[in-house]
Structures are given as C-alpha cells and as structure tokens.
Chains A and B, each alone.
Chain A
C-alpha cells in the first residue's frame, strides 16, 4: 500500500513532442504528489507538485493531471526539448508523515 508505480521505465520523444509519464498509487492517505527531475550525477530537483483537491496543475511546459478516483497522476511535458532529457520520478507523501515514497523512475530521452 506504500508503493507508487511508475511507467514507462524509459521514453523516447522527438523534439517538440509531448512526453507523458504515469504513476499509480494505492494508499488514499497520500496527500501530496511531487515530481522530481534528476540529471546524471545530480540530486533530484523538484519540478512540480499537486495536492489531490485539484485535478490539474500547470507550470510552464509541465502539467500534472490528477485522477483521484483512479488513484493515478501523470506528468505531461509539452514541446519537449533535448534539455529535458533526464530521469523523472513521481513521489507521494502520507498525510501523517513526512517521508516521500518514490516511483521507480522514467528515463526520458528527447531526440533533436
């Protein structure tokens, strides 16, 4: 119940295309869902986050779509650029705690 499942494991997109990464969770006590971006040799950096009381959040080219009934959320990267090539992690945090539970990660490659 503590797991967050992420797919796909890897994704290749052409420049200008839309990248979509999906995550699913079981525990309805999760109340905060961030996405992190990680470049090789670096630490994860917060990209965008959402709470379950909204269905969508957009920041620039990045959008989170949240489906509370399906217990799923996704990251959409519009107009994908080669500089977006990185590993993306979804995560979730319990209402009562502070630790983040991470998905397995998606390695995104954007071809020029």
Chain B
C-alpha cells in the first residue's frame, strides 16, 4: 500500500515564475491537507480539500496561492509569481474520511526560489 506521494521532491524557481506541487493521497483516502514548513519552524496549515471541494482554506495566503483536488488525478498546490519568501517545504497529508484523526504525511516538496 503506497503512502502519500508528492512530486517533485525538489523544485527550483526564479522569482516571478509559477510553482506547481502535486500530491497523490494514499489509496482509499479522499481528504487532502497541505502544510508549509519554513526553515527551523513547525508546520503551518494551509488548506484542506476533498475531491472537487475546498473545505477549509483559512491558512492560505490570499494572493498567488491556490489549490485543487479534482475528481481524477492528484491534488495540486499552485503558487503564482513566486517570491523568495515562498521558499519552504510543502507537505501534503491525507486521511480516509472527515474527522478521521490520523493524517499521513508525504515526503514533501522542497521549493527554492532564487
């Protein structure tokens, strides 16, 4: 049973470019969460999605960031016009159902903005 998969594992972008981060949840999981980890800090919640629905996006920056989880395919976290402050590790977690306690994390995508 494969775990949560994220790609790419490392992503380098120049300021102003777009970053697309992909997350495939564990088999049978329909709930996806995105967290961001800045260097030497804890994980901060960004967004919680179900298939084709955004449930909670209260942790998402108001501009440049968007997320989706289509009916088919992985969840995508999209960052437009990246800035150096976006450099961080972005983790995706999945769970099988609403209010399911255990969230299983992927290996993360390390984004570096030059």
Contact = CB atoms under 8 A, between A and B. Distances in A.
Contacts of B31: 98
Interface stretch (B68-76, B80-88, B94-102): B94-102
Interface residues of B, number: 27
Q: Is chain A's interface secondary structure helix, strand, loop, or mixed overall?
A: strand
Nearest to A36: B105
Contacts, number: 57
B56 A44 contact: no
B105 A102 contact: no
A72 to B, nearest CB: 17
B105 A98 contact: no
Most chain B beta-carbon contacts within 10 A, residue among A36, A46, A98, A105: A98
Nearest to A49: B101
Interface in B97-111: 98-108
Contacts of A99: 33, 45, 48, 56, 59
17 contacts: A34-B102, A43-B108, A44-B43, A46-B102, A46-B103, A46-B104, A98-B31, A98-B48, A98-B99, A98-B100, A99-B45, A99-B56, A100-B35, A101-B45, A104-B41, A104-B42, A105-B41
